[in-house]
A and B are shown apart, each in its own frame.
Chain A
């Protein structure tokens, strides 16, 4: 009797302690639950059906579960493998490009320099332009005509006597996607620079001075004092750029066209499937993309979670 009362009081206390925060969190929990996790589940269920036609999409014809058939078919097809290869190529070039260029700019601006603010704005500015708008310009710059009909960058190469550098850019069927990474690097290097610059500024001057007093060379100073302090920043930049790259769609759509085989990536495949009423395959591509992004992001989340606990 007495224990029951005590227990009830305990429950009441626990509810009172957790109740108000829980109630405040509830709306967002419900929204996230329904619109993020609920829809992920709905998408996964859709991808395990044979819903490939308009009639099935509206329930006029029956759909049946096919398990992982769609995934196996997709991953086994030459076209989708080509899309995945393109995605990997694009991501690697985009990541390496923005990290290297962004770091170099940040390193240069970290030196006491006149007009630093001016350069910072210049480098950061391309990020303010939408992918669609810059894509329209880059579509012209990356025109694949050579010789007499050349325009854009190929024409520029001719004018400065570097004719040998002319190429067909994104129209190369095996590595053309790399050409589309160029505008992406141009747009996001400034952002990576800003991240690194903040990292440099966050390192106390005393640390550098102490290293110098101890006789560290400039290289050793960077290698053993500054780089370790920058590694969390580098990791964040990698994750941010990496997941943007995996979702690449708008830049590719505005430079190339969705039907162009040479620049297909999974996001474009998803769009094409959806437009042709093939909802099951569109959902399957979506799930594959989600898994790929999760492979990149989840280790990072685990890592930061552990650091927070420490």
Chain B
């Protein structure tokens, strides 16, 4: 009896000891000390896990292996939720001071949180080292430079957000010229009205962020490039009459949209247009990939043009790569950034992904028809930062704007309340 009790006591002590040991073992999981160089591998954290994005990453890795055969590429791609899953995981890893060697992030204001949190290092020196300063357009360099004068990421590709996609058959059936160009939003709305009368959905949108994207293009159309950029540096008054007029246009446009929008993601609303259930949609030019997959021809099946009133303005967003503080393989990361910024890397990546290179010295003749025209606009147009894609404002502001927009489009607030909420969101 006594013996049995003693055995159980010993067992219990052993169990506690084992547990304590296991708890201590947790510290062993730290990444090997940084600063040692670590040029033998690079973990690249992205949300490019499927479709054209995966194809682009694969093409980029191929170039990387040629340029840096001694560095092993470790794929840290996280699938799901258009990057939201990846961002959640990244937030956790950075918080736990276990950063990947480099991670994908939208260039521009979205990086501000990482900068404020001292989680990424400036890469301004690398721009000189790799000769990137003259390869990117000056407008883009302005957009990339943070308030402290440093640049924190190297863009791999450029997308344009202010693009209207149309189904030519639907337009012809409704008696509208599919090649019509619209000088401003009100001219466009006249045709949207005709389409509504004809019984098709005039304008397809999806969940909240696509509505924010529509809002940003309306603001851009009504305020002009300078007025729009002024929204982000404080020189345009959010509470003013110009913004109010733009919001009224936004309200009118939302009246032409599909009622099931809040349950859809962008590929589904794009599909409404491709299938002829809707006439127009406003979507970034990554939509081009879905036309290509379904073997649709630009000019015969569909048309693409800048949102009416925004011709000559390039509403840009870019994916870019960073240099996290305390990454285990900083030299590997620099090798990766060199490939990302190189002309060969940008050509291979963008050809596969359907975007355009950030560099202006890449030969575009082998790219697709849409990409060629986009690259031309990128060189000549005024470049402004996209709101919905993190180029214009930090995450917290974008979240507040998205909440206000969803509240407005679901019918819970009126225009005046919407405007004051937007003003409050931008005031911080």
Contact = CB atoms under 8 A, between A and B. Distances in A.
A177 B410 CA distance: 13
B118 A256 contact: no
A24 B399 contact: no
Given A58-B95, A145-B260, A275 B410 contact: no
A171 B208 contact: no
A20 B5 contact: yes
A26 B16 contact: yes
A261 B116 CA distance: 29
B378 interface: no
A275 B395 contact: yes
Contacts of B114: 54
Contacts of B258: 145, 149
A259 interface: yes
Interface of A: 19-20, 23-24, 26-27, 30, 52-55, 57-58, 60-61, 79, 82, 139, 142-146, 148-149, 168, 171, 173, 255-257, 259-262, 272, 275-278
B12 interface: yes
Nearest to A24: B12
B403 interface: yes
B415 to A, nearest CB: 16
Interface in B1-41: 5, 8-9, 12-13, 15-16, 19
A61 B116 CA distance: 8
Interface string B109-152: 00001101111000000000000000000000000000000000
Given A61-B116, A278-B396, 6 more contacts: A53-B113, A143-B263, A149-B258, A257-B208, A259-B406, A277-B396
Q: How large is the interface on B (under 10, 10 to 19, 20 to 34, 35 or more residues)?
A: 35 or more
Given A173-B410, A260-B208, A260-B410, A275 B88 contact: yes
B68 interface: no
A262 B410 contact: yes
Contacts of B395: 54, 275-277
A277 B113 contact: yes
B201 interface: yes
B88 A173 contact: no
Contacts of B201: 149
A106 B8 CA distance: 46
B263 to A, nearest CB: 6
B interface secondary structure, majority: helix
9 contacts: A142-B263, A173-B410, A257-B262, A260-B207, A260-B208, A261-B410, A262-B406, A275-B88, A277-B396
A139 B265 CA distance: 12
B194 interface: no
B263 A60 contact: no
Contacts of B402: 259
Nearest to B12: A23
Interface of B: 5, 8-9, 12-13, 15-16, 19, 84, 87-88, 91, 94-95, 113-114, 116-119, 199, 201, 207-209, 258-260, 262-263, 277, 395-396, 399, 402-403, 406-407, 410-412
A173 B412 CA distance: 6
Contacts of B84: 275
B15 A55 contact: no
A53 B116 contact: yes
Contacts of A168: 259
B262 A256 contact: yes
A52 B399 CA distance: 13
A165 to B, nearest CB: 16
Nearest to A55: B116
B19 A60 contact: no
B302 to A, nearest CB: 20
B396 A259 contact: no
Contact of B117 (A24, A55, A255, A276): A55
Contacts of A277: 91, 113, 117, 395-396
A60 B208 contact: no
Contacts, number: 115
Residue of B9, B88, B117, B277 with most chain A CB atoms under a 10 A cut-off: B117
B87 A275 contact: yes
Nearest to B400: A276
A267 B9 CA distance: 44
Contacts of A144: 259-260, 262-263
B268 to A, nearest CB: 10
A218 B234 CA distance: 75
Nearest to B97: A58
Contacts of A146: 259
Contact of B403 (A173, A261, A262): A261
B407 to A, nearest CB: 4
Contacts of B9: 19-20, 23
Nearest to A279: B95
A33 to B, nearest CB: 13
B116 A82 contact: no
Contacts of B16: 23, 26-27
A308 B277 CA distance: 64
Nearest to B113: A54
Contact of A54 (B117, B260, B406): B117
A23 B402 CA distance: 53
Nearest to A277: B113
Contacts of B5: 20
Contact of B406 (A27, A148, A260, A276): A260
Nearest to A58: B117
Nearest to A272: B399
Given A20-B5, A23-B12, A260-B207, A54 B116 contact: yes
A171 B88 CA distance: 27
B260 A58 contact: no
Nearest to B212: A259
A276 B12 contact: no
9 closest residue pairs by CB, A with B: A54-B113, A55-B116, A259-B208, A276-B399, A58-B117, A23-B12, A261-B406, A54-B117, A261-B407
B293 to A, nearest CB: 22
A255 B263 contact: yes
B396 A23 contact: no
A302 B227 CA distance: 63
Nearest to B9: A20
Contacts of B19: 27, 30
Contact of B262 (A19, A149, A171): A171
A20 B87 contact: no
A57 B412 contact: no
Contacts of B12: 20, 23-24, 26
Nearest to A22: B12
A151 to B, nearest CB: 8
A20 B259 contact: no
A51 to B, nearest CB: 12
